Structure 1
Amino acid sequence: MAKTILASTLALGMLVNVATAKEVSFKGKTIEWIVPYKAGGGTDKWSRFYAPLISKNLPGQPTVVIKNMPGGGSTKGANFFAKRASKDGLTIFASSASTQIPFLLGDKRVRYDYKNWKAVISSPTGGVVYVSSKLGVNSIDDLDKLSSQELKFGSQGATSMDLIALLAFDLLDIKTQPVFGMKGKKSTRLAFLRGETNIDFQTTSSYIKNVLPAQKDGRAVPLFAWGTLDDNGDFQRDPTFPNLPHFGEVYEKVHGKKPSGDAFNAWKTFFTASFPSQKMIMLPKDVSNDVVETYQNAMKKIVSDPEFKAMSEQQLGIYPQTVGEKADKLKSTATNVNDEDRKWIQNWLTTNYNVRF
């Protein structure tokens, strides 16, 4: 009798769980996707890759409209989302490293808190540093030739994703003159292609689509990729660019030893917070569990589609896409840094770029 009661109780519990997980239909609805950058950059291209897939796989096949909202190093769009996003799943946000870094640094422009948001997909990416062929450099083996040349680097700002590049250049003794005020990575890329700057980096999706043609026609020369981290936190070559050395290899080439020290440790902490979970789709504060689960299920359908792997590798590079609760856990990792590294970076930014916190 007791076993019968227990079995009935368990069955009832399962029915309750099923009943509480309601699929939300978006039939006839329009979803506004806030992208806090100009059109044409890496995050914009990533969003436009996913937009039709989200439309196809969400129940009711809603229209997904990208709304580009650049400004404030991406904080304008993030602040708008935090304040104005609807709680019915009709507003989503494209987070990127340039949104995460100001949050991690305590930038005074930040009016958003990642703890309030729910990530439904986390996309790692890489990046490639490249220079103008006019500098007479053919590969990383010619790195010493850059020491005598005037290098100009277009930047969105020292507290944006460009922090990773600016500190990396410092660690590698690559002297650059940053040209601040760029509205996004598209702007930095176009400045490079116009000859206004001569060193740049782009994330993988933008590099594949927009810089690779310039590399093939001899205008751009790739130096190195940032690389990826293995399960032990050690650098590995980027699988999308296996012929390019990673940052750790270049550091060792320049200094004759493996990377170490406070500056490198701080750089690696912010790199880890920026690239392994570089782009994420966020749902806003107070959105219902039904909406969250509906989005999670849609993202799982997308990445499990047999055709998705080939499409994503061609457009985004060879990186695993993380969905569901695992994506939200990666969000937590990407939006937390230890106080020691945060303070080191803040002091470095204040000393070198007069950034006040």
Structure 2
Amino acid sequence: MRRFITVACVTSLTILAAAGASAQQAVETFYHGRTLSIVVGHEVGTGYDLYARTVARYLGKHVPGQPTVITQNMVGAAGLASAIWLANVAPRDGSVIATFAHTASVDPLLGASGGKFDPSKFNWIGNLDEVTGTCSFSPEAGIKKIEDLYTKEVLVGAAGAGVGGPLSQSARGVRNLLGMKLKLVQGYKGSADVRLAILRGEVNGVCGIPLSTLKTEWRDDFTSGRIKPLLQLGLNKNPELKDVPHVYDFAKTPEDRQVLDLIFGAQANGRPYAAPPGTPPERVAALRRGFAETIKDPQFVAEAEKLQLDLKPTAGEDVQKLIDRFYAYPPAIVERAKAAVRQD
């Protein structure tokens, strides 16, 4: 009997190993000679675009079959257009992944997406960085510390229109939850256009701009003091901004912190990548492994350092856990957050 059980166990393991090898071969066959697209939900020249193009140069060699990886920009609604497309239109065969603003993961809660997609249904591939957003201002704003906004109104720029997008949501959150005098000017194509608007004097600041963007695309203005962060936004304090107050410093109750979570905490998933709902699990697993290997690739890491791209990556499973946490918050918390970012 013992020998029979042993033989049966060995046979089962052999069958499982063969099935695994067969699945691996099927994935490799699918990607061989194929193009894998990374759809960027923001304009060329933004941080999302720069990160994605850097990933694209290395991801293919870490995915079975070594597909050719290209980037495509799908600009609209501050990244929401690409998220809605990913949920409803994109091919579900593993040939497409997308990256967009972290706000897309909570926009359905906050009422920006019109219920057109469910982020919990995405197959999250991974995240490149825990973004630290900032409220940053030019000298023309006439403020030296964030508390000056309690008495002085400042114009801040944002991409798109309506509720969506990190710049508009961040500005409204700071204004409506902290009581600071920010006047929002929307309609810019993206953060690159907001930067030009600051240089032209159309607006004097921006809320929600990542520190990583200040250090890369906005480097000259940041290092010269032409743009200066006065408030940091995000789930955790960033030691690089140790003298800059954190938005959570203004929370008075645990409930206040949960409301801030829904508006600013999602920045922990600051550079996320996702595949559409319904993508075959074995291809999702291959993309996750490829992504994890890419961010450890010495050549990728060296290029990211050269470009001054901040990297604080998390696995796709961890991205999912944080999103699930936010979606479990009580309705009263969600309603407070929704009211705080509601369009004027």
- Alignment pair present for 1:259 and 2:252: yes
Is the partner of 1:316 in helix, strand or coil? coil
> What are the ranges of 5 or more consecutive residues in structure 1 without an aligned counterpart?
230-236, 252-257
- Alignment pair present for 1:268 and 2:261: yes
Is the partner of 1:86 in helix, strand or coil? coil
Answer yes or no: is the 8 Å Cα contact 1:89–1:287 preserved in 2: yes
Match of 1:200 in 2: 206
Match of 1:323 in 2: 315
Change (3 A) 1:114 1:324: closer
The one of 277, 292, 295 aligned to 1:285? 277
| Alpha-carbon shift at residue 312 of structure 1 (Å) | 4.0
Match of 2:68 in 1: 63
Answer yes or no: is the 8 Å Cα contact 2:40–2:72 preserved in 1: yes
Is the partner of 1:88 in helix, strand or coil? coil
Answer yes or no: is the 8 Å Cα contact 2:171–2:184 preserved in 1: no
| Alpha-carbon shift at residue 189 of structure 1 (Å) | 2.4
| Alpha-carbon shift at residue 260 of structure 1 (Å) | 2.9
| Alpha-carbon shift at residue 67 of structure 1 (Å) | 1.8
The one of 296, 303, 313 aligned to 1:304? 296
1:129-181 deviation digits (Å, cap 9, x = unpaired): 2111123445x3xx454455441011234332232332123444420110122
Change (3 A) 1:215 1:137: farther
Match of 1:8 in 2: 10
Q: Distance in 2 between matches of 1:9 and 1:227?
A: 52
Match of 1:232 in 2: none
Q: Distance in 1 between matches of 2:316 and 2:11?
A: 28
- Alignment pair present for 1:216 and 2:223: yes
Change (3 A) 1:40 1:19: same
Q: Distance in 1 between matches of 2:42 and 2:66?
A: 26
- Alignment pair present for 1:132 and 2:138: yes
| Alpha-carbon shift at residue 311 of structure 1 (Å) | 4.5
1:217-261 deviation digits (Å, cap 9, x = unpaired): 2322221322543xxxxxxx3144445332234x3xxxxxx6337
1:237-286 deviation digits (Å, cap 9, x = unpaired): 3144445332234x3xxxxxx633755541233322x2111232111122
Q: Distance in 2 between matches of 1:134 and 1:203?
A: 21
Change (3 A) 1:308 1:106: same
> What are the ranges of 5 or more consecutive residues in structure 2 without an aligned counterpart?
none
Change (3 A) 1:128 1:115: closer
Match of 1:72 in 2: 77
Match of 1:187 in 2: 193
- Alignment pair present for 1:106 and 2:98: no
Answer yes or no: is the 8 Å Cα contact 1:128–1:224 preserved in 2: yes
Change (3 A) 1:46 1:165: farther
Match of 2:171 in 1: 165
Match of 1:151 in 2: 154
| Alpha-carbon shift at residue 116 of structure 1 (Å) | 2.7
The one of 23, 34, 44 aligned to 1:29? 34
Q: Distance in 2 between matches of 1:263 and 1:270?
A: 11
Q: Distance in 1 between matches of 2:143 and 2:9?
A: 73
Answer yes or no: is the 8 Å Cα contact 1:182–1:188 preserved in 2: yes
What residue identity is the alignment partner of 2:173? L
Answer yes or no: is the 8 Å Cα contact 1:228–1:238 preserved in 2: no
Match of 1:19 in 2: 21
Change (3 A) 1:282 1:275: same
Answer yes or no: is the 8 Å Cα contact 2:36–2:96 preserved in 1: yes
Match of 2:101 in 1: 96
Change (3 A) 1:303 1:336: farther
Q: Indicate the larger mover: 171-180 or 12-21.
A: 12-21
Q: Distance in 2 between matches of 1:326 and 1:347?
A: 28
* Length, aligned pairs only: 333
Change (3 A) 1:135 1:83: closer
Answer yes or no: is the 8 Å Cα contact 1:164–1:267 preserved in 2: no
Q: Distance in 2 between matches of 1:128 and 1:279?
A: 15
Q: Distance in 2 between matches of 1:215 and 1:324?
A: 32
Match of 1:245 in 2: 245
| Alpha-carbon shift at residue 16 of structure 1 (Å) | 4.5
Q: Distance in 1 between matches of 2:228 and 2:235?
A: 21
